[in-house]
Structure formats: structure tokens, C-alpha cells
Structure 1
Amino acid sequence: MNEPVSVALVGGLYGSARAAVVDRLLRRHPGAVAIHHVIAAGRVERVVRDASGVLDHAEVPANAHGSVTQDLLAQLVRHAAAGASLLIIDLWDSIEPRPVAESLARAGQLRLVCVHTALDAPHMPLDICRGDRLAETGQATAADDQRHLAEVLARQIEYATSLSLHGGDAEDTELSTAVLGHLVPHTPIVTVPDTTGPILDVHELAGRVDPATAQLPADRQTGEVTTVVWRRLRPLHPGRLFDVMDELVTTTVRSRGRFWLANRHELMLAWDAVAGVISVADTGPWLAALPEAAWDLIAPIRRAAAALDWNPIIGDRVQHLVFTGPDIDRDRICDLLDSCLIDQDDLLPGAAAWACYDDPFAPVLNLEESA
């Protein structure tokens, strides 16, 4: 290849919506080629097509980890060398776009220009609330795939650089648009993805969703859909927070952000919940917990995010959690979380008393630290 060929990555749980986007791209770009892998019942099939129809349909050996990604990259390079004007990756239903985008970046021979998620307008507002596992919906990628449908849908939506809505009537589109306006207010909803922009930097894409730098939604009310932003500076008592988490998660649809526990004041913790399923993870130290000499090793986007939160006493430590759902009781959410903050008379980081708190998060977080 002389010049890197542009690659459009199209994903989403809804096959008919993805197909509609891929068809529009093939018609708009003569010479474009779309590559799709079907993953089902332990088998992987590759389908390659252009605007005229199917060019190749073959089974791919799936007995090695990463074999699908390897086959995808090989096909992209092959069709780029053959003169394709645009390469379109039509991801299978429950594949998340981030690992694929980062694999493309590591390959170094291709030019990722958009990450697009196609959505079914009647089903998306319902599916983001569903607690089903992918295995129950027939969309698991492997026998041991334990992911939930709603968490995959959320990642597909939040990582994308553009979105599209398909099917349904004007009312479905209006509701889906309102929900997306809360989940990803800065992501455009388009008819056809733009493939003329600059190459995407996967580090910047990651920065949009990673807890330390995520572009979290703002406080908002649209009809019945509400987003509540909770920002505080005092640390959280681990036991009190653990006791209210179930109510916080089950009375909202999507919540995420970063927070700190008093007894783990050096660590930034990530909160990620959707459809009643929550994950709490250790994302590493706050910048305030690092020696200044180490800051040069920190990505600029992380330093910029820390600067926005900086406090002269506690540094970049902050409670920043965002909750979205229908008919949320804003006061109840804030009161619950405020009741979990440590008392006003013990505010300095590192107070000896904090280490004595019972920590119900220990089984998860200590396991992560020792892994």
C-alpha cells in the first residue's frame, strides 16, 4: 500500500441497523468493501461484500485466541492492497468497538476514521434497562461470555464517534434521541457516518470513556429522562456507601464516574453500573498521591483532567458520579450519597482513623491489587 486506506468501524447489537449503515456507505463510496464476521455456536464465518453483493464467504478457524481479529486484520490489509477505496468493518452484534479500534492502531497500516454505532430506535431505550446476560439473548461470543446485554450496549454507545437510529416511528426516534442526549450529549446522531475526517487517535478515544478523563454527562432533565450529577470533595465511608449501592443502582439505569474511599485515599476508584449491574474497580493512584517527578510519565489528557478538579488540600481527589434514568428522585440520590460522606471533623487525607473502617469492598479491590 502507498497511502493508508480509510477504515470505518460500524458496530451495534442490532444487525438490521448495522446492515443499513453499511449499505449506505457501500453505495456512497464506489470501490468500498465491507468485512463481517458471524460468531455463533462456536463457529466463525467471514462475509466480504461490496455494493454489488457477496465477494467471499468462508469459515474461519476459531480455535485460537484472537483468531477473528487476526483474520479481520489480514482481510483489511488484503483488500487495501487490492485497491479498496474504503474498508468497512461490520462488527458482529456483541463485539465492543474499543478492542478492535486499538488492534487496528497497533497494526499501523490502516487509517481509522470513524467508530459508528447503529441503533434500533424502538428497542434501544428498553435494552439499556435490561439485566439479561448475552448468553440468554443468543449474542454471547463464547461459552464463558458472562457480559450483560445492557453493559455491552452502553460501551458501544459511549465509545462511538457517531450514532444512527433506525426503525420505529417518530415517537421511538424522539425517545431514543432523548436517552442518547443524556448518555452521550456530545456524540452526533447522523444518517451516514462521516469518513472524510482525520485519523482517529485511539488514546483520545479511550480518554473519552476512561474513568479518570471521561466526558461525563451534565445535570439534565428531558421529559421523563433525568441525569443527576453528584460532585463532592469529602471522602466516602466504605461501609455506608456499600449499604446504599443497591438502591442507587436499581433506581437508575446508567451510572458511572470516579470516587474515593476514605480508607483508600490514594486510589481513584471507578463506578460503572447499568441495568442493575455494578462494577467497582481500582484505576490506579490519584495524581496527588504521586511524587511530582512521576507526573511527566502521565498522559497530558489525564493531567488536564486532574487540573480541572484540583484542590489545594486534596489535589485531584473528587467524588464525581452521574446517574441517568426515568423519573429519578434527584433529592433521594443526593441525600443517600451525602449520608455516606465522612464526618466534617475528619477531613485531612491519611487520617489514621480512616484505616480502621470496615471495608466491604476489600474482597474485590484487594483481589485486583494482587492480580
Structure 2
Amino acid sequence: MDSALLPPESDRRTPVVVLAGFAGLAADGVDHAAAALRETAGTVVVRHDLAQLREGVVHRTVRTATQETSAVLELAHGCVSCTLRMDLLPLLCTLAQRDSVDRIVLALDPAFEAEAVCQAIEQVVVTGVIGRLDGPAGRDVRVQAVLTCLDSAAWLADATGDETLAERGLAYADDDRTVAQLAVGQVEFADVVFAVGAVDMAGGVQADRGKLAAVLARLAPGAPVVWVDNPSELTLTCVETLLERVPADSRRGRVFDAHAPLLRGRPPLTSDYGVVLMEFAAGRPFHPARLHEALDVLFEGVVTARGRIWLATQPDEVVWLESAGGGLRVGGAGRWLAAMSEDELAEADPERRAMAAMRWDERFGDRDISLAILIHDADPADIRAALHWALVEDEELRLVERAPDRVAEWEDPFGEWHADPCENDETAGVPVEDGKSSRGEAK
């Protein structure tokens, strides 16, 4: 039986706990949680400091309750993905081989995104580890849980802003990601969230906490949220108790593709403190030029939007849209089933095929639009109206069906790449990547 399908108590792979946190109290929370966990015999804490990544230098520290070792790594290409591939993954495999190691804790530098790390553990082939056959680190380790710390006073502003890492003074090498991209991604992928910061119920702060709680409940449904006044409260007992409380159906490092349900975990669909998770679905494509204009509604009052879109000018391609705060990425996510050959269909995920069969259209097959938009300070009706305006009209839809060659001549700002805001020359021109989104690696 595949070890990835075994229950945790039957899985003999070494468990890995991933700790993520962006800055301020969140980073302090990661440090305290890591220090607490390493008090347990057999636990090893690994941290890569990427502050000097621009110079091709990475500082790696490995700590246990009784020992600490440090190393300075010099990389030919100073980037996050190289650090992951060349050192972190091989180190996981090496540590997993040691009888003295019962658990590995990864205290991630903010440049590492937990989703990208977990995906690499399962998919990237590790070579050159003595005494081990080449293969993914996931053969030797399993993600027990992802714990995210956030600064309760600063996170919502970070998650809804448009500041880049470079503007914050935190850019790594040629990293063009935004603060919001990291802040949203860290929480969205979490199994447990620690909201760190003094909680004062006077002077309207209670409402701020209520709004943050409403956002978290919709962004990471099912993930317990623990409110702590000070990072020092993240003791061994506290963290271990939360690890035991991680729901059985939590992600635990699983990476979902673009065709998985967008409302996983049964998030609340009602409005709370002005926060609402809105669905937008359509059985006709977007006109690319109008969509490009309409997308401005996602940059104000929206935490994140993500989902599959159908562009009239790209009838064979599933396009994945993902926003965080004031930034947007659009990328390829494979082909629609209706555009696949018989051989390609035979390789397609059976669950995806079953879901598509339930809504199959005689003319357009499984092509559709499905978006989930998390709003914190905007009118859902305005967003819905703007997106409806961007859909093709009836006459245009007949062209989509009968004259695709003519439709292919329409202006398409999404033809080769897309990144917003368009007027920002530093972020424009980001190549479209194959896969769910361009989030994950800095190259």
C-alpha cells in the first residue's frame, strides 16, 4: 500500500512540522514555537536564513535540545528554489535516516512558502544522498502539520495591500512577489493559525479582531485559530496540544490542483463584519479585453480571489487566476477535458472527469468559469456586475461556437503573460507558468 495513503499511526516516515510566519510578532512566534518543540527528545529544528541570498549565501542552522550546528552555504544561483532543491530536501532525507531523529521541524524563512516546500517534498527528485536511492523526499518524510503564525495587528493590512517585498526591504535575489502574496499564502495553506498580539477589547479593537477572525474562517476553513497575547505563550504544551487537535481531514501538506473544489473545508458563506466569500460562476467565457478592464474590482476591498477562467480567445486552455491584495497573477492550468485527445483523457484524474460529467455542456463540454472571491471591504454586487459585464454577449458567444478563428483575432492581454498592476514595470512581464499559479518559487 502507498505510504502516502496510510494513517499517521501506520506511516513509518519521519513526521515534519512546518512553521511559517511573515514578520514582526509572527516571526517571533515561529522562533518561540520552534524553541518549544525542540525541547522534545528526538526533535530536530532546521532553519535556513536567506537574508544574504542576493549574495548567493545561505545560513543554515540545525538545533536539538542539546546541540546546535551551523553552516554557511554558497550557491552558484542565489534563489529560493535552489536552496530548496540543493540543501533543504537532501537534508530532510539525511535526517530521516538517523535513528535519533523522531521529528523534524522546519522553521521557514519568510522567503519559503509552505505550499512550495510541501509540493517539493512530494515531487522533486532528490539525488546524491549517500545510502539512499534517488527519489522525492516524500518517501522518507511526511508533513504532520503546517502551523502559521501571524501578527494580529498587521496581517490584514499586509494581506490587502500592494506593497512588494522589495519595497518592504525584504526582496530575495530577483524575487518579485508581494507582501500580500506571502501573507495570504501562509494562512491559506495552514492547518493551525496562531494569531499573535495583545488583544484589547476596548476602543473598537474587538471589532478588528472580529473582522480578522471572519477572514481567517473563510481563508483557512477548518484550521483552528489560537489567539495569544505574546509569542512566549507558544510553549511546548500549547503547540503539542494544537498538533493533536489538527482535524483529520486537514491538508497536512497536500497541494490541490486547479480543478479541485474551490470551497474546500465548508467555509461560511454568510457575511460577518462585512467579510463575505463570494462565488462567481458562468457557463460562457470572458471577453479577454473586457476582463482585463474589469479585474480592477479585485484590487480594492478584496483579500484574495482564485479560480478557473475560460477565455474566449483560448478555448483549449484552462486559465488559473489568483489575486492577493493589490496584485494578480494569471497562468496556465492545463487543458479542458473537451479539448483533450482520447489518450489525454485516459490520463486525466477520474474525480475531475466525474465532476465534469455532472455539468457537461453539449456545445462547450466542461468549459466554464468558477471563482471564489474573499471580500473584506467592498460591495459584492459591484464585483459581480463588473465580472458579468466582462462575459461574452449572446452574439459573441455564437462566434465562439461557430467562428473560433475570428474570435482568436480579438485583443487578448492574457495571450502570453499577465501580472498586475500593469503600470508597474517591475512586475509586468512575468512569464506564465504551467500549474495552478505562479506562487511558490522565485527564480
TM-score calculated relative to the size of structure 1:
0.85
Is 1:35 matched with 2:84?
no
Is the deviation greater in 175-184 or in 33-42?
175-184
Whether 2:323 is the aligned partner of 1:273: answer yes
Cα displacement (A) at 1:163: 2.4
Aligned to 1:358: 411
Return the match for 1:324 from 352, 362, 374: 374
1:165 maps onto 2:188 in alignment: no
- 1:50 partner amino acid: T
Return the TM-score normalized by structure 2.
0.73
RMSD: 3.2
Instruction: Select which of 115, 118, 121 maps to 2:149.
Output: 118
Per the TM alignment, residue 61 of structure 1 is displaced from its structure 2 partner at its CA by 2.2
For residues 195-217 of structure 1, what are the alpha-carbon distances to aligned partners after superposition, in whole Å with 9 as ceiling and x for unaligned? Answer: 7989999998221xx33225336
Partner of 1:109: 140
User: Separation in 2 of the partners of 1:44 and 1:369?
Assistant: 26
Identity %: 28
Task: Work out whether residues 213 and 301 of structure 1, in 8 Å CA contact, stay in contact via their aligned partners in 2.
Answer: no
Displacement of 1:78: 4.1
Q: How far apart in 2 are the matches of 1:327 and 1:196?
A: 32
Contact kept, 8 Å, 2:310 with 2:319, in 1: the verdict is: yes
How do 1:69-218 and structure 2 match up within 5 A? 69-80=85-96, 81-105=98-122, 106-107=136-137, 108-142=139-173, 144-169=174-199, 171=206, 173-189=209-225, 192=239, 193-194=242-243, 205-207=254-256, 210-216=257-263
Give the one of 29, 44, 52 matched to 2:58.
44
TM superposition shift of 1:68: 5.0
Alpha-carbon separation, structure 1, partners of 2:166 and 2:359: 40
Counterparts of 1:167-316 in structure 2, within 5 Å, are: 167-169=197-199, 171=206, 173-189=209-225, 192=239, 193-194=242-243, 205-207=254-256, 210-216=257-263, 219-307=269-357, 309-316=359-366
Q: Equivalent residue of 2:366, what SS?
A: coil
Change in CA separation of 1:301 and 1:138 when aligned onto 2, cut-off 3 Å: farther
- Decide which moves more: 129-138 or 61-70: 61-70
Aligned to 2:32, the other structure's residue is in SS state helix
CA distance in 1, matches of 2:28, 2:59: 18
CA distance in 2, matches of 1:39, 1:26: 22
Equivalent position amino acid for 2:186 in 1: Q
SS of 1:221's equivalent in the other structure is coil
Distance (whole Å) between structure 1 residues aligned to residue 402 and residue 330 of structure 2: 23
Matched position secondary structure for 2:102: coil
Distance 1:333 1:311 in 2: 26
Shift of 1:87: 0.8
**1:35 Cα shift?**
0.7
1:205 partner amino acid: R
Rounded to whole Å, the distance in 2 between the matches of 1:338 and 1:5 is: 49
Identify unmatched segments of 5+ residues in structure 1. none
Displacement, 1:3? 4.4
For the residue of structure 1 that corresponds to 2:364, the secondary structure is coil
**CA separation in 1, counterparts of 2:36 and 2:216?**
22
Residues 281 and 263 (structure 1 numbering): CA distance in 2 closer, same or farther, change over 3 Å?
Answer: same
Larger deviation: 195-204 or 343-352?
Answer: 195-204
Q: Aligned equivalents of 2:271 and 2:290: distance in 1?
A: 28
Q: Number of aligned residue pairs: give it.
A: 364
Q: Which runs of 5+ in 2 are unaligned?
A: 1-10, 123-135, 201-205, 227-237, 419-428, 435-443
